[in-house]
Structure 1
């Protein structure tokens, strides 16, 4: 399964994966916390990091949890190589750009956030008094939670995902039904786009929890893969059927991902991401699909052939009335493919109508 998320999330997940349960780095950090010691770890030893280091001493030794625990007894920061295999320096005083904004109050946490934000490197800060572990990466901060509590939250999120996935499936089924009857409205399409983004955001958060849980997340991974399935592919096809000619489905899905939660809940705002010429304030206006989504249900029909057929007939309404001979007139479509397309469209139409009235 592949989720859509930005580079900031990718950076945070990469950092979480490096210190997830079962990794040598996590073992070392937990040793520090159990010893009631604090720690400031920079998980990169590139030139930019070394340029803000002052004092301390060169270690340049293979990483081990025991060695990290011993070095954390000193006050300064510890610099660990990007691959996590070597401790570069210890007892270092970090001098990040003081103009970089930070919301932290403690000296260690302020330094950690400023280093992470200014150099775009992952930084881990362990509190000496509270035993709290914070990860700074991708411009954000994440506090590591106790495994049992995180598992409980992840399971609750999975239940929420299941409910939203059911609503999305219902919206897609409704859209199919109104499409085959040629009575689709902008509201029907916007509802699918909106609910698809909600499902994605929940799945995205669960994905981050899975990365954070490391070896303890095997069952969660299986459940998420089963629930999330091919949602992104289906959403792309829905959007491709209605998006403006000068835009792609990816453009709309990216724009949706950048909306705030409140904006996502606004159907008109979701409709606006399609960038159609008509006034999006009128959600009851009729819209006509290109037919790509239903064409992709035909076995062994390539994306190029589906696009060629959709362009030839200029909409699902004309496509539904097309005969096998009409379909054969499309460049690259032979008799066998034409018959399969005709049969698929007839089957989808019949199924959608039956589902609507049952």
Structure 2
């Protein structure tokens, strides 16, 4: 499963949380706000003026404190209000593409401190979240529901396309040589499906208590993250790193760019798989898969091994050896994918 750094942030301000209630009150009052979560004690180096509170968090307190111009500092767990009416002085080397002063300050602080920064626009009533290099704008619930429904339809399509591409890989694997272009197409389709799933996960978290129906529909589509990683590891050139698709930013990549990231300088290669994807389909633990990869360099080598050969490998065991041997010798069918 992909790790999305924004999910935890969105869960803290989802509908039904105390912080979201404070933000909604600030929006209705059109006062604007700059709220800093965590980053202590380093964040204190960027603060001037204001006053120290160190009182228990309450959404009404945050709403009232937002009527002043300065930033409000909360602790990492959102249990206490540390400071209020603070002027923030970001590091000079931090850059920002924002135009408004509040949002420029928010982005620069987020890039230089381990803090979540929430900027509430006074005039436009827009809530923008900054975390590290990430920026996310909150939307109203009706808009999110519409986007989530549309994203589910797209996920359904690309989930089918990915599984179709994987079936083509399996057919080629039976001949022990897979065209690189087929590998790239499977990875590209899977990447799009994973990106859509990540987007829907954000919508579910952002909807809070209103997101359970979308979450139920999302469960109809199994997470393909492990399968996608298996394909990449199957066909990448030696010593190439395995990327995290959540930060890959590959939406506009050409086939040549995919090939380069896999470690190839042209598209007309035919590659013998190592066996990661097939072993993932039988849900072996990662450490067991790595044990097998140390014993056998390719899928064809594993197919030539006997049941006794697998049983004698340390860490495999007789029962698991039978499962592996059967999976490697059965006829490929739609049920496997």
Q: TM above 0.5, one fold? A: yes
Alignment correspondent of 1:261: 251
Does 1:328 find its partner at 2:304?
Answer: no
Query: CA offsets per residue over residues 293-325 of structure 1, 9 Å max, x none?
Result: 3355558x66666666666665444555x48xx
Given that 1:242 and 1:289 are in contact with CA atoms closer than 8 Å, whether structure 2 keeps it comes out as: yes
Q: Which runs of 5+ in 1 are unaligned?
A: none
Q: CA deviation at 1:340?
A: 4.9
* Cα contact 2:191–2:245 (8 A) shared by 1: no
Q: Residues 66 and 185 of structure 1: is their aligned pair in 2 closer, same or farther, counting only changes over 3 Å?
A: same
CA distance in 2, matches of 1:214, 1:286: 47
C-alpha RMSD of the superposition = 3.0
1:221 maps onto 2:215 in alignment: yes
Matched with 1:141 is 135
Aligned residue for 1:288? 272
Distance 1:146 1:190, change over 3 A: same
- C-alpha distance in structure 2 between counterparts of 1:309 and 1:95, whole Å: 54
**Alignment check: 8 A CA contact 1:56 1:89 kept:** yes
CA contact (8 A) 1:180 1:317 kept: no
1:123/1:136 contact within 8 Å kept: yes
Q: Which of 147, 150, 168 does residue 153 from structure 1 map onto?
A: 147
Greater CA radius of gyration, 1 or 2?
1
**1:347 to partner: Cα distance:** 2.9
Match of 1:179 among 170, 173, 177: 173
Deviation, structure 1 residue 177? 1.3
Q: Report how far residue 162 of structure 1 moved.
A: 1.3
SS in 1 for 2:219: helix
- Aligned length, in residue pairs: 333
TM-score (norm 1): 0.81
Task: Tell me which residue corresponds to 1:233.
Answer: 226
Distance 1:188 1:24, change over 3 A: same
| 2-structure distance, mates of 1:48, 1:196 | 40
Q: Which runs of 5+ in 2 are unaligned?
A: none
CA contact 1:113–1:136 (8 Å) conserved in 2: yes
Deviation at 1:103, TM superposition (A): 1.8
